[in-house]
Structure 1
Amino acid sequence: MIGLLGATGAVGRTAARRIAALGLGPLRLGGRNLTGTADLAASLPAPAHAVKVDLNDPAGLAAFCDGCRIVVNCAGPTYQVLDTVARAAFAAGADYVDIGGELAAKEALTSGDVAPGRTAVFSAGVMPGLSGLLPRLLAKTGPLRRLDVYVGGAAVFTPLSAIDALLTRGPDFGVPMAAWRDGRVAPNTLAPLHRVRLPGFPVPVHAWPYLTTEAQTLAQDTGAGEVRSYNVFVSNRLPEALAAAWAEVSDVRPEALTPHADTVVNASLRDNADFGAFYVMLFTARPRPGSPPGPTRVLLTAVDSYALSGVVMALATHAVLSGSVPAGVHLAAEALDAESTAAALRDDPLVGTLTIE
């Protein structure tokens, strides 16, 4: 049995459909809206049934996890969930895959006793996730002199994803305006790029430097001399909405940030109205002198970043169930195989293009 939480959400629907299509086993779909969850279960090409469950109900969560081989969590806010569902899954003898969490969730889970033989994979979505996995394809032939990461576009935020975005601040998530240079974080070394044309992006964009912890790990793992990582927006509306909220509220609890979520959602809706929906991941590499020849650019385009995250969740679930990911607590960018993930994405109808050249 595969338990999937948040089944009717923006990510969960695609994850459920892809897991069912992969034939990984019967599904137990969990959500707060039992009617919508049951409708999804009836539409899947695999045995599935719906269960009403609330992540804030420990007994109900334990009952949901009981009997599952793996629990797949697409519910949020991801940075409020942290290791709560993972611990319930481990207690039930199940492995675990989560759309978010990052270092905060990984460290929370590993701060206590981790069930021996169990596997957990956090941040198995687009960003973080693919944003730290696909660039590894450019470092196959050796350490890079420089790696540039551009991720973003025009995506409509849901209220929960807006809260998640507002929660991604502080050293556990990244350093604004910083680059990675010669083995360390170099603060205040980059400036925003305004109205620049980048390959794959259909309109001029604004790129804001943000050296995520994922990008820092990527730099360490690949031996890159320099890494520049940018969040890309079609206008300054979202950066300004996020900055205004952070300036006004120092409390990082979700309940304190919730009143600002509507401002973020509305900014994304205005961008969508002006530019349509698109999502682009662009990674460019500059090899070190004398390095063997290899690819220098990875470009992925899609329309819906949430649905794309659902595809990644299904691929991560398959990797864990097949034994491709060893026991322990991992982040998806470090645990999944970049080449097989890219091959699966290239064949998925939700991916517009995926080129490695």
Structure 2
Amino acid sequence: MTVGVIGCYGAVGRALVRRLRGRLRLGGRDLTQVRKLARPGVEAVEVDIDDDARLAEFCNGCDVVVNCAGPSASIGDTVAQAALRAGAHYVDVAGDQLDRSRLTALARGRATVLAAGMMPGLSALLPRALAERVERPSRLVAHVGGLDRFTRAAALDYVASLHGEDAAPLAAWHGHRPLRGALRPAENVVLPHFPGRVSAYPYLSGETQRLARTLELAEVEWWGVFDGERTLRALSGARGRETGQAAEDLELAARLDALGRRPYFQLVFDMDGRVLVVRAADSYELTAALAATTTRAVAAGRVPPGAHDASDVLVPAAVLNELRDDPAVEVTELSRAPVEEGVL
């Protein structure tokens, strides 16, 4: 079983390669960087996503191809098509905007798993795992973020997500449906499980809305949390601006907020008083953790043919257990009084 990783020396790629065992083929534009990452016995290949021939050559002979390259919004299904045409299974740490029916037609008995990252991905799987511990769940409050850096690719994808068809900034899920303008950004507030004061930005993604419908939740508040005011301000001003400039501003703001401080990233879910906290040094570690779990599931034949989101084909409880076993991830579960409505 050969697993190919494209974008192997980026923030997510490095963290993923560290978690994978067995035969690996690592690919990236800078062969010197790829070779630095490759352990003895690991194949290092120069590959450019914009070069169809080189990309096809990389995918040929792989049983599973994992795409860690970005930004996802510009790459589209380029890597997915090359992998499937080469007869490989495909895993994408992003790719939530891709056409599932088109990829299913190309799959020909192979599995394609999209949105196998921190968000989307863990952001739906972890609430589902928590829901299994709550009888008739009705309300979810999520605080996701911390003191995290933005790579340029991540910043571009984040800004692009604000312009998606399902994007609903300042919205909440109220009375079993989305309610736009229900919430406002909050600066310099104290939140449970976050060190010191932070800023929070309310946001209802398409994934969160699907989650609310699936779990039949009456109320959902979803807050992006930033341990630094510059990042929140850059994000608040990003909607409606040119994508490249907005991403550059977001990347710089996050870097300035993190100067001289220890980074961290966490997902905190409170479902009717049952609390789950998942924490790592950054969001890229969490994305890589789910990508590794997904890759193992695909390689073991536990994912059916066709194109799927990770949250639809992985077992939430099993994902949570693998996170517990990951040395770079800290998982805590608590029970306490439910959060009152309207309280951050």
TM-score by length of 1: 0.88
The code of the aligned residue for 2:62 comes to: C
Match of 1:28 in 2: 25
Match of 2:15 in 1: 14
d(CA) in 2 for partners of 1:246, 1:193: 17
Percentage identity across aligned positions? Answer: 40
For 1:125-150, what per-residue CA distance to the aligned partner results, in whole angstroms no more than 9, with x for missing partners? 11211111101122214432211111
CA offset at residue 173 of structure 1?
A: 4.8
Of 80, 86, 95, 2:89 maps to 95
Quick check: 1:2 aligned with 2:3? Answer: yes
The code of the aligned residue for 1:216 comes to: Q
For 1:156-194, what per-residue CA distance to the aligned partner results, in whole angstroms no more than 9, with x for missing partners? 111211111221123445211111233322211122233
Quick check: 1:308 aligned with 2:286? Answer: yes
Say if 2:64 and 2:90, in contact at 8 Å, map to a contact too: yes
Quick check: 1:65 aligned with 2:59? Answer: yes
Count of aligned positions: 333
Note closer, same or farther for the CA distance 1:280–1:196 as it changes in structure 2 (3 Å cut): same
CA offset at residue 199 of structure 1?
A: 2.3
SS of match in other structure, 2:150: coil
Say if 2:323 and 2:331, in contact at 8 Å, map to a contact too: no
Quick check: 1:334 aligned with 2:312? Answer: yes
Say if 2:163 and 2:239, in contact at 8 Å, map to a contact too: no
Q: Alignment RMSD, CA only?
A: 1.9
Quick check: 1:126 aligned with 2:118? Answer: yes
The code of the aligned residue for 1:344 comes to: E
The code of the aligned residue for 1:273 comes to: L
Once the two structures are overlaid, the 10-residue window that deviates more, 184-193 or 65-74, is 184-193
SS of match in other structure, 2:84: helix
Match of 1:254 in 2: none
CA offset at residue 99 of structure 1?
A: 1.1
Match of 2:206 in 1: 213
The equivalences for 1:33-44 within 5 A come to 33-42=30-39
Of 198, 217, 222, 1:224 maps to 217
CA offset at residue 71 of structure 1?
A: 0.4
The code of the aligned residue for 1:345 comes to: L
Once the two structures are overlaid, the 10-residue window that deviates more, 136-145 or 213-222, is 136-145
Query: Structure 2: where are the runs of 5+ without partners?
Result: 336-344
d(CA) in 1 for partners of 2:200, 2:245: 26
For 1:16-68, what per-residue CA distance to the aligned partner results, in whole angstroms no more than 9, with x for missing partners? 12112xxxx3111000110121121135xxx3111100111111111111111
SS of match in other structure, 1:334: helix
Query: Structure 1: where are the runs of 5+ without partners?
Result: 250-256, 288-295
Match of 1:244 in 2: 237
d(CA) in 1 for partners of 2:17, 2:62: 15
The equivalences for 1:1-357 within 5 A come to 1-20=2-21, 25-42=22-39, 47-102=41-96, 104-107=97-100, 109-110=102-103, 113-140=105-132, 141-249=134-242, 257-273=243-259, 275-286=261-272, 296-355=274-333, 357=335
TM-score by length of 2: 0.91
The code of the aligned residue for 1:28 comes to: R
d(CA) in 1 for partners of 2:236, 2:123: 23
Match of 1:292 in 2: none
Note closer, same or farther for the CA distance 1:245–1:190 as it changes in structure 2 (3 Å cut): closer
Say if 1:234 and 1:275, in contact at 8 Å, map to a contact too: no
SS of match in other structure, 2:222: strand
CA offset at residue 151 of structure 1?
A: 0.4
Note closer, same or farther for the CA distance 1:166–1:285 as it changes in structure 2 (3 Å cut): same
CA offset at residue 101 of structure 1?
A: 1.6
Say if 1:195 and 1:205, in contact at 8 Å, map to a contact too: yes
d(CA) in 2 for partners of 1:259, 1:182: 37
CA offset at residue 202 of structure 1?
A: 1.0
Note closer, same or farther for the CA distance 1:226–1:307 as it changes in structure 2 (3 Å cut): same
SS of match in other structure, 1:248: coil
The code of the aligned residue for 2:281 comes to: V
d(CA) in 1 for partners of 2:31, 2:91: 22
Match of 2:342 in 1: none
For 1:287-328, what per-residue CA distance to the aligned partner results, in whole angstroms no more than 9, with x for missing partners? 7xxxxxxxx111112112212211211111001111222222
Note closer, same or farther for the CA distance 1:243–1:197 as it changes in structure 2 (3 Å cut): closer
Say if 1:106 and 1:330, in contact at 8 Å, map to a contact too: no
SS of match in other structure, 1:157: coil
d(CA) in 1 for partners of 2:163, 2:255: 26
The code of the aligned residue for 2:37 comes to: L
